[in-house]
């Protein structure tokens, strides 16, 4: 992947396309997907759309009872416990999935947190980077043999326009010198994008392609750590919590780009790309307002992606995925290390 690949393809879909529009006429019978966060917000829309056209969906959930209640009327899905902030929990969930499946067609990393108060997890890691990136990184490494076995799997990771807030803070990725919840979120979303760049580079020999997605501006449970006043001050909602901000999408439109990434034939033989509004996004200039769309060059830079991959392997203890076709990694190490 190069920056010249980061150009719109002329997709027939747009910012107002819904999840239902994307899957209309598709038949995913016999396909299996793992959708993190697949029981609320964009994840729920994704699960419903995939199962509606025949896919089997496994939903790892930090709150499995809540997830099962939310998905009670959705056929073709099952819930397993998993906490992205706890890598032992991630490995346990991956082992369960590996015991149940012989191949995995789609891994969709929809779950995430945003602008949380300072939290330290594991060996003192910053919570947003851990939940949004390290957890999904570990899950993908553990499930890679299943993805490679599918012969055409796709990995779709939800990033955000928030990546424009900052690149990777190589000098202090865990904010040990002072916490800023928005910079922490921005770094985690940049990490989500860079993760797909290097995963795609390593996986394409096994037919595993990866994409990062900006779903758009949507009010979902992602804002749960923010006060109502914060959301009012940002012009997102009124005093009753009703959405008033310009450019906001309903969840069904927000889920559309991820589903397009997962299923579009326009993306065959492509990967390592950042997508928005059901198309490939352009590279944006450093001073472009965040809401004007596009992706910053640092979030799709292959060298930055390789550096983050090495940092993530060191942190989580994951065995690196080989870039030799036909020889995928089988298992990750048991214990992570601090950085």
pLDDT tens digit at each of 339 positions of the chain: 567 799 999 999 999 999 999 999 999 999 999 999 999 999 999 999 999 999 999 999 999 999 999 999 999 999 999 999 999 999 999 999 999 999 999 999 999 999 999 999 999 999 999 999 999 999 999 999 999 999 999 999 999 999 999 999 999 999 999 999 999 999 999 999 999 999 999 999 999 999 999 998 775 555 556 666 665 666 656 676 666 555 778 889 999 999 999 999 999 999 999 999 999 999 999 999 988 899 999 999 999 999 999 999 999 998 778 654 444 443 333 333 334
Q: What pLDDT was estimated at residue 320?
A: 75
Element (H or E) spanning 138, and its range?
helix 135-149
**pLDDT number for residue 222:** 52
Q: According to the model, what pLDDT value does residue 19 have?
A: 97
pLDDT score, position 328:
41
- Structure confidence at residue 155 (pLDDT): 98
Nearest to 11 by CA among 212, 306, 265, 254: 265
SS3 81: strand
pTM value?
0.90
Strand (E) or helix (H) holding 91: helix 87-100
Q: For residue 326, what pLDDT is reported?
A: 44
Closest CA to 20 of 62, 52, 43, 56: 52
Beta bridge partners of 295: 283
The backbone region for 178, taken as left when phi is positive above 0, alpha when psi lies in -120 to 50, beta otherwise, is left
Q: Give me the count of residues in the chain.
A: 339
> What Rg do the C-alpha atoms of the chain give, in angstroms?
18
* Sequence-distant (≥ 6) Cβ neighbours of residue 34 within 8 angstroms: 57, 58, 59, 60, 97, 104, 106, 107, 108, 139, 143
Residues catalogued as catalytic: 185
Distances (CA, A) of 152 to 176, 208, 264: 41, 6, 12
Q: What is the pLDDT of residue 239?
A: 72
Give residue 219's pLDDT. 56
């Amino acid at each position: 992947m190069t920056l010249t690949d980061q150009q719109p393809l002329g997709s027939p879909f747009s910012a107002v396309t819904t999840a239902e529009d994307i899957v209309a006429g598709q038949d995913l019978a016999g396909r299996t997907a793992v959708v993190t966060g697949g029981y609320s917000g964009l994840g729920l829309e994704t699960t419903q759309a995939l199962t509606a056209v025949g896919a089997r969906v496994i939903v790892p959930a930090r709150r499995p009872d809540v997830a099962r209640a939310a998905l009670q009327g959705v056929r073709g899905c099952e819930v397993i416990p998993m906490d992205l902030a706890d890598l032992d929990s991630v490995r346990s969930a991956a082992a369960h999935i590996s015991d149940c499946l012989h191949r995995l067609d789609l891994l969709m990393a929809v779950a995430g947190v945003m602008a949380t108060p300072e939290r330290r997890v594991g060996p003192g890691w910053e919570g947003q980077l851990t939940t949004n990136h390290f957890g999904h990184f570990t899950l993908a490494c553990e499930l890679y043999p299943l993805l490679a076995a599918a012969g055409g799997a796709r990995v779709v990771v939800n990033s955000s326009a928030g990546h424009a807030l900052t690149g990777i803070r190589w000098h202090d990725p865990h904010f040990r010198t002072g916490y800023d919840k928005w910079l922490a979120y921005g770094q985690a979303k940049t990490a989500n994008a860079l993760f797909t760049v290097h995963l795609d580079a390593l996986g394409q020999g096994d037919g595993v392609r990866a994409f990062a997605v900006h779903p758009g501006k949507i009010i979902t449970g992602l804002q749960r750590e923010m006060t109502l006043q914060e959301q009012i001050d940002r012009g997102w909602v009124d005093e009753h919590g009703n959405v008033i901000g310009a450019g906001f999408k309903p969840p069904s439109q927000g889920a559309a780009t991820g589903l397009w990434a997962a299923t579009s034939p326009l993306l065959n033989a492509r990967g390592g790309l950042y997508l928005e509004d059901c198309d490939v996004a352009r590279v944006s200039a450093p001073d472009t307002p965040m809401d004007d769309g596009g992706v910053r060059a640092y979030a799709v830079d292959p060298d930055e992606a390789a550096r983050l991959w090495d940092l993530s392997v060191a942190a989580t203890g994951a065995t690196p995925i080989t870039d030799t076709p036909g020889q995928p990694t089988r298992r990750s190490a048991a214990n992570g290390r601090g950085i």
